[in-house]
C-alpha cells in the first residue's frame, strides 16, 4: 500500500518536472509585439564578455583619463555594466544623434544632443550597442572629429561585420554576429525588449 502510494507520488513529481521543463523551454522564447525571438546570448555570457572588454580598455588606456560617450538609447545597459569594471579615471556622458531637415538647406543635418563640454585633447571612447552597417557610427565620428580629441575609438557589444559598410570599425567589440535582427540588453524592436538582460534573435519560420 505504502509503496503504491510512493510510486504514484514519484510519477506525479516526474510529470511535474517534465511539464515545467517544457514550459521553461517555451518561456525562453520572447514575444515582442508581433515578433517571436529565441535565445542567442545568455546574461552570464554577456557579463563575462563585458568584463573582459573592460579589462582590455583598462590595459590600453592605463595612465590616461578617458571620456566614455554612451549613445542613447541602445547602449544604456552595456554602458552601465562596462563602467562597473573600469578602473581608469574617467567621465561618462550620454548623447543622442538626431537627424532633421535643415530649414535653410534641403539636406538632412545630423547633430549630437547632450554634448555640453568640450572634448578637445581628451581620450574619447564611444560606447554603442551595435555597429551594423556602420552608417550611424560614421556620422557620430564625423561630428566628434570636429572636437579635435586626443584619440577617438569605438566600443560596441555587438558588431555585424558582414553588414558593415562604414569607414570605422569598432576597435573593441564583444561579439561578431551574423546579419540577423537581435533584441535585448538595450537593443529594441520598436522600442520593446530593451530591458531584457540577455540577447535574443528573431525566430525564423521553418
Ligand atoms: P547602423 O547605422 O546600421 O550601424 O545601425 C544603427 C542602429 O540601428 C544601431 O545603433 C541600433 O540602434 C540599430 N540596429 C541595428 N541592428 C539592430 C538589431 O539587430 N537590433 C536592434 N537594433 C539594431
Ligand atoms: Mg543604437
Question: Of the residues 98, 132, 164, 191, which should be mutated to test ligand 1's pocket, given the most ligand atoms within 8 Å of the CB?
Answer: 132
10: pLDDT strictly greater than 90:
no
Cα separation values, 135 from 74, 110, 141, Å: 16, 12, 10
Q: Please, which pLDDT band fits residue 20 given cuts at 50, 70 and 90?
A: very low
| pLDDT surpasses 60 at 29 | yes
Q: Is the pLDDT of residue 118 over 90?
A: yes
Architecture in CATH for domain 44-100+108-178: 3-Layer(aba) Sandwich (3.40)
- C-alpha cell at position 44: 552570464
Band (9; pLDDT cuts 50, 70, 90): low
Whether residue 73 is preceded by a cis peptide bond, meaning omega within 30 degrees of 0, is yes
Q: Domain residues of the chain, as ranges?
A: 44-100+108-178
Instruction: Decide: 134 and 179 in contact? Cβ < 8 Å.
Output: no
What's the CA-to-centroid distance between 195 and ligand 1, angstroms?
16
- Marked catalytic residue, from 60, 121, 132, 179: 132
SS3 content of the chain, % helix, strand, coil (to 5): 30, 35, 35
Q: What average pLDDT does this structure show over 59-75?
A: 97
Ligand 1-lining residues (CB < 6 angstroms): 74, 128-137, 181-183, 187-188
Residue 129 annotated in active site: no
Q: Which three cell numbers stand for residue 11?
A: 510519477
All 3 cell numbers of residue 197?
538582460
Determine which helix (DSSP H) or strand (DSSP E) holds 7, and give its type and residue range: helix 2-27
Q: What was the pLDDT predicted at 133? A: 94
Q: Can you tell me the mean pLDDT for 132-161?
A: 96
Mean pLDDT of the chain: 88
Amino acid at each position: 500500500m505504502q509503496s503504491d502510494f510512493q510510486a504514484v507520488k514519484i510519477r506525479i513529481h516526474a510529470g511535474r518536472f517534465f511539464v515545467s521543463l517544457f514550459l521553461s523551454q517555451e518561456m525562453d522564447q520572447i514575444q515582442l509585439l508581433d515578433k517571436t525571438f529565441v535565445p542567442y546570448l545568455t546574461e552570464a555570457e554577456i557579463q563575462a564578455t563585458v568584463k573582459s572588454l573592460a579589462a582590455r580598455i583598462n590595459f590600453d588606456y592605463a595612465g590616461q583619463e578617458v571620456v566614455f560617450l554612451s549613445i542613447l538609447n541602445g547602449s544604456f545597459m552595456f554602458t552601465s555594466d562596462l563602467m562597473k569594471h573600469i578602473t581608469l579615471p574617467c567621465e561618462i556622458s550620454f548623447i543622442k544623434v538626431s537627424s532633421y531637415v535643415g530649414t535653410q538647406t534641403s539636406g538632412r543635418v545630423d547633430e549630437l544632443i547632450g554634448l555640453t563640454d568640450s572634448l578637445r585633447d581628451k581620450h574619447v571612447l564611444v560606447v554603442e550597442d551595435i555597429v551594423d552597417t556602420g552608417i550611424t557610427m560614421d556620422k557620430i565620428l564625423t561630428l566628434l572629429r570636429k572636437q579635435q580629441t586626443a584619440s577617438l575609438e569605438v566600443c560596441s557589444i555587438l558588431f555585424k561585420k558582414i553588414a558593415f559598410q562604414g569607414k570605422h570599425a569598432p576597435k573593441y567589440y564583444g561579439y561578431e554576429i551574423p546579419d540577423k535582427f537581435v533584441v535585448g540588453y538595450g537593443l529594441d524592436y520598436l522600442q520593446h525588449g530593451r530591458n531584457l538582460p540577455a540577447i535574443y534573435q528573431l525566430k525564423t519560420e521553418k
